[in-house]
Amino acid sequence: MVGDSHGETYLSVLPTTRDETLPHDGANARAVDLALRVQPADVRADPAWVRRTIITVSIAFLSLFIVLPLVNVFGQALSKGVTAYISALADPDTLAAIRLTLAAAAISVALNLVFGVIAAWAITKFEFVGKNLLITLIDLPFSVSPVIAGLVFVLLFGLQGWFGGWLSAHDVKIIFALPGIALATIFVTFPFIARELIPLMQEQGSEEEEAALSLGASGLRTFFRVTLPNVKWALLYGVLLCNARAMGEFGAVSVVSGHIRGQTNTMPLHVEVLYDGYQSTAAFAVASLLALLALVTLIAKAALESRGAEE
């Protein structure tokens, strides 16, 4: 209602509650009552059909490209029975491939563990010339084909390589032997541990280490009592990923191994040899071990993430 008092204009606003509604106006009362009952819709919520479509597509994609191949691997591995499955895994060449894979993975994980911790410590705790270059080099294996990495080692340590003559004269074998396989595996896996540690250590800063040093703790004691407990879950997560990648590496190892059956074939290479030799059951049996490794890695990854979130 608009009125005038002493030359001033004022505006009377309609009431907004049920008790204050205008008398003798049932339509207005019902409109106000309805407005009070209706809750505003969440504009951020997607329609139900959109949510159902996204969920269905995601599940279908995962089932088609991940679950179905895994089920097929185990189904083919056991297609001729458990006895044939065990016999394929007990084959001397298969056992040699398993031992070689474990040895190469152990060497690469151990060395990358030391390198990853040192690199992460240097990058996050110090300022020095070439720091950005070091970060770039750590990421290099992500952008270089593993086959190219293997070829680089052949050109360096092969018989016709830069150091091939000297190595041959001293009867040192790197290419087509365990050292070459370990070097190739180290190259393709060394970013994993460092890349897990660097963001976490940057976020944590160096205040706790500085406090420990100011209280008289040595650098080594500070590392084991302060730094390591703060990054232990990220470190274990990086080791887990590094190990899984090392055991499943194919491209770089294929170039430097020589495919000598029973001597320089890792598990992925042995799967290829068996399948090319029309031994499909044995090939899928060995592949099932790698699939089991993938499943164990996923379970361990989830457990580590859960423990890390709790702390």
Total residues belonging to the chain: 311
Residue 164, judged by CB atoms within 10 A of its CB (0-12, 13-18, 19+), counts as middle
Distance CA 284, CA 78 (A): 8
Per DSSP, the three-state class of 5 is strand
Q: What is the pLDDT of residue 308?
A: 66
pLDDT score of 33 more than 80: no
Q: Which pLDDT belongs to residue 38?
A: 55
pLDDT in tens, 241-288: 999 999 999 999 999 998 888 899 999 999 999 999 889 999 999 999
pLDDT band at 30 (very low <50, low <70, confident <90, very high): low
Confidence of residue 152 (pLDDT cuts 50, 70, 90): very high
Predicted local confidence at residue 21, as pLDDT: 45
Alpha carbons 163 and 178: distance in angstroms, whole number: 17
pLDDT at res. 41: 53
Number of Cβ within 10 Å of residue 78's Cβ equals: 15
Distance, in Å, from the CA atom of 249 to the CA atom of 177, rounded to the nearest integer, reads: 16
> Is a pLDDT exceeding 90 seen at residue 59?
yes
Nearest residue to 153 (alpha-carbon basis) of 176, 184, 177: 184
Q: Residue 185: what residue type?
A: T
Query: Where do runs of H (alpha helix) occur along the chain?
Result: 26-37, 48-62, 68-77, 82-89, 92-125, 131-143, 146-157, 164-169, 178-189, 191-204, 207-214, 219-222, 228-248, 251-257, 267-276, 280-310
Asked whether the predicted pLDDT for residue 8 surpasses 50, the reply is no
- With the CA atoms of 114, 120, 126 and 131 taken in that order, what torsion angle do they form, in degrees rounded to the nearest 10? 100
Give Cβ neighbours of residue 152 (< 8 Å, ≥ 6 apart). none
CA 244 to chain centre: 9
Give me the amino acid identity at 151: L
Q: Could you give the count of Cα atoms lying within 13 Å of 27 in the half-sphere of its Cβ?
A: 0
Q: What is the pLDDT of residue 154?
A: 93
Cβ count within 10 A of residue 127: 6
> How far apart are alpha carbons 206 and 125 in whole angstroms?
7
Contact (Cβ atoms closer than 8 angstroms) between residue 297 and residue 305: no
CA-to-CA separations, 100 to 60, 90, 267, in angstroms, rounded = 37, 15, 8
Please report which confidence band the pLDDT of residue 91 belongs to, taking 50, 70 and 90 as the band edges. very high
Q: What would the two tokens of residue 29 be? A: 């009362």
Q: Find residue 3's DSSP bridge partners.
A: 10
| 192 in Cβ contact with 115 (< 8 Å) | no
Sign of CA dihedral 140, 146, 148, 151: positive
Query: For residues 186 and 246, what is the distance between their CA atoms, to the nearest angstrom?
Result: 8
Distant-in-sequence, close-in-space partners of 271: CB < 8 Å, separation ≥ 6: 283, 286, 287, 290
